[in-house]
Amino acid sequence: MNQHASAAMVAELRSFNRFYTRQVGLVSPGHLGSPWSLTEGRILYELLSAGRRETVELRDALDIDPAQLSRVLGRLEQGGLLTRAPSPDDGRRQTVALTTAGGRAAALLDDRSNAAMREQLDRLRPADRNRLLSGMAEIRRILGDGAGPPPATVLLRPVRPGDLGWVVERHAVLYAAEYGWDHTYEGLIAEVVADYARTADPNRVAGWIAELDGERVGSVFCVRKDDTTAKLRLLLVEPAARGHRIGSRLVDTCMDFARTAGYKRMTLWTNDVLSSARHIYQRAGFELVHSEEHRSFGADLVGQTWERDL
């Protein structure tokens, strides 16, 4: 049986709630510097996102008292931001839709909200940004009611102009933050990426970027070792995107390409501290064939070579 939370735990949670509401501006008199309240802003956003809604749907989406919802809708209607009308499916129910002015107001609030959140994130170091987003996802998982956010959309696509610089930066930043590796690792990644960029045979060499809800969160490359052996390189998954099997999908895509390209075997080199990546390789059928201690990137490491037949 669960024990009751202590008074200190309750106080800490309340303190966090006060801190967070200040951070996102919920205690400001006007939502995002506008003349509308937070509740009015939430209604405008719902209608902007979903179009015409029945009042019962708004009530459920916002978890708001019916009487309070009616008063807020009345104020927005008087302000010319929305209209109310009987539902075409059931005259006993009421539908709500934005007017042209309401659409402009909702779009303005949406733009200001995005700008405010981007400003907060831009102030953080990339590693702290990823830890923040991972922590927020964990809070939602623990406190959620089971419904959770909508399913994330994962897309694996070929490398495009601008991606290679991102691959170098994210490898350098993440490995420095998570393992303390120095600038020489960034130099190695830059060399690997430059070798890929100079390759002129797209039938034998390829790279992929993983996107999560439209944002770059991962990478992998298939390059040539010799006529019969391909090398898997530069596997990366951002911390905030882990848990979606993105790493496994990247590795599977890389192996599928290698088979199609005519390779008979695939090899990769990693270090034993990269346990998450190692588990992905093992699940994909790779076997450890060689280990060797070395001093690289400002750290004492154990390099590993893994291989498998295709």
pLDDT in tens, 124-156: 876 677 777 767 777 776 776 555 555 667 888
Among 83, 105, 109, 107, CA closest to 95: 83
Sorted by where each starts, the structural domains of the chain and their CATH numbers stand as 7-120 (1.10.10.10), 154-266 (3.40.630.30)
Among 191, 187, 264, CA closest to 225: 264
Q: Tell me the pTM.
A: 0.54
Give the pair of three-digit tokens for residue 59: 């009530």
pLDDT band at 93 (very low <50, low <70, confident <90, very high): confident
Residues 159, 223: Cα–Cα separation, whole Å: 13
Give the pair of three-digit tokens for residue 67: 């009487």
pLDDT band at 297 (very low <50, low <70, confident <90, very high): very high
pLDDT in tens, 40-82: 878 887 777 666 778 887 787 777 778 888 888 888 888 888 8
Pairing verdict, β 229-237 and 265-271: parallel
- The residue type found at 70 is S
Give the pair of three-digit tokens for residue 19: 């801190």
Give the pair of three-digit tokens for residue 183: 């600038």
Q: Phi and psi at residue 34, in whole multiples of 5°?
A: -100, 170
The arithmetic mean of pLDDT across residues 79-99, rounded, is 80
**64 near 44, Cβ under 8 Å?**
no
- The residue type found at 26 is L
